[in-house]
Amino acid sequence: MDMTGERRIPAPRQRVWEALNDPEVLRACIPGCETMEFTGENQLKATASLKIGPISAKFGGKVTLSEIDPPNGYTITGEGAGGVAGFAKGGAKVALLEARVAEVALQRTQLEDLIQSLSRSRDENLLIDVEAAVRVALQQTAITGSAEPLVAALKQSGERLERHQEPRLEGVRRAVVRDLDRIKAVSVTDISSLAIKLDEAIRMVDDLTLLANAEPRPDFAAKTAATSKSTSSVPVGRSASSSGGVSALAALPGKAGEWWNSATGRIWTEVKSLVRVTRIDNPDAMLLAPEQSFFVRENLKLRLLNARLALLSRQFDTAQSDMLNAQAAVDRYFDRSSKRTAIVTDLIRQVAGQARQVGIPRPDDTLAALTAAGAGR
């Protein structure tokens, strides 16, 4: 009769080997064994009491250890006589194997992870790439305040999913299209164009006309030029013929009157150019000293530069405050009837009207669809 089996002993293999070569341990391991002692090298003498059915007998015999391979195992055989019960003979092959359960389990887990990473399908790689691209673009959008990185990432992801043509990923593609349409529908502030407008306004500050500088109005200057062109000198001289002299003497009073009118007109024009009648809403603007004009212009430039820096750093409240102060300075110290002043005022108003904080929608549908597709739902 052949029997096989195994036992797990929570002890080092060397200690188990020493126990298997100890007669007392062997006696305790063999059922019914009463004595066990060495009689020679690898030879032992043993007695055992056994009951076979209704017959009880006491066997005496010898035990032999062979095929010894320390500490891996050996073969143990025994034979003996039991009187009326007859003879008994048997043997066993003992092998000791060191069990490294924790180490084997760890190696198995690492091997499974490696196999799983190597056997990922093309769909899983595509989902990972799309999710990474969308999350990086979302971070860039949060830093720059522009929707262009997110729009470009979603558009590229949609094109890749469309080329892939996998039914399992169709839900992801539709989510990408929805998020892309939702982000495009939001009117995002174009910071670069607003910065260009502020640069143009800063460049024109040096050419603006201050209220304290008395300059003739355009209509008055044109009227003065027309009067000067129409005025001609009246020559007085003798005629070569007697008939011409008589006619010249007859026309002399009329020409003298015309010359007098012309002279008095020019004098009155010069007098009027010395006097300027305008409406003054801010008296201190007219009392501005020439050396203070430089600081007024520089202060206006600094206000506009601060507004530009606030726009680039997405601080729209600060930019609005600076542009409001700059507009107040233009209205207070500069001639609003001037064309350049009107252009600068219009540029400042355009920037103030467009510099608004706009929240860019998150691609939540796309991220949720990617998570669901990655989980296999």
- Judge if 289 and 211 occupy the same domain: yes
Q: Distances from the Cα of 362 to the Cαs of 132, 150, 178, 181, 368, in angstroms?
A: 15, 9, 11, 12, 11
Domain count, the chain: 3
Among residues 95, 110, 129, which one ends one of the domains?
95
Q: What angle do CA 195, 198, 204 make, to 5 degrees?
A: 145
**Do the domain assignments include residue 75?**
yes
**Do the domain assignments include residue 128?**
yes
- Judge if 289 and 204 occupy the same domain: yes
* Residue bearing tokens 């680039």: 312
Query: 322-336, pLDDT tens digit by residue?
Result: 999 999 988 888 888
Q: Is the peptide bond before 71 cis (omega within 30 degrees of 0)?
A: yes
- Judge if 163 and 142 occupy the same domain: yes
- Judge if 168 and 288 occupy the same domain: no
> What is the separation of C-alpha 203 from the centre of its chain, rounded to a whole number of angstroms?
34
- Judge if 205 and 181 occupy the same domain: no
Q: What angle do CA 367, 373, 377 make, to 5 degrees?
A: 120
Choice between 149 and 242, residue whose per-residue pLDDT is larger: 149
**Do the domain assignments include residue 179?**
yes
- Judge if 155 and 178 occupy the same domain: yes
Residue range(s) defining the domain that contains residue 300? 191-215+283-354
DSSP 69-103: ETTTEEEEEEEEE-GGG-EEEEEEEEE-----HHH
- In this prediction the pTM is 0.42
- Judge if 125 and 33 occupy the same domain: no
- Judge if 309 and 197 occupy the same domain: yes
Query: 228-260, pLDDT tens digit by residue?
Result: 444 444 444 443 344 444 444 455 566 677 777
- Judge if 308 and 207 occupy the same domain: yes
**CB distance 329 to 299 below 8 Å:** yes
End-to-end CA distance of the chain: 56
Query: 25-61, pLDDT tens digit by residue?
Result: 878 877 778 888 888 888 888 887 777 666 677 777 7
Q: How far apart are CA 228 and CA 318, in angstroms?
A: 53
CATH of the domain at 27: 3.30.530.20
- Judge if 198 and 322 occupy the same domain: yes
The pair of structure tokens assigned to 65 is 């250890």
- φ and ψ at residue 77, rounded to 5 degrees: -130, 150
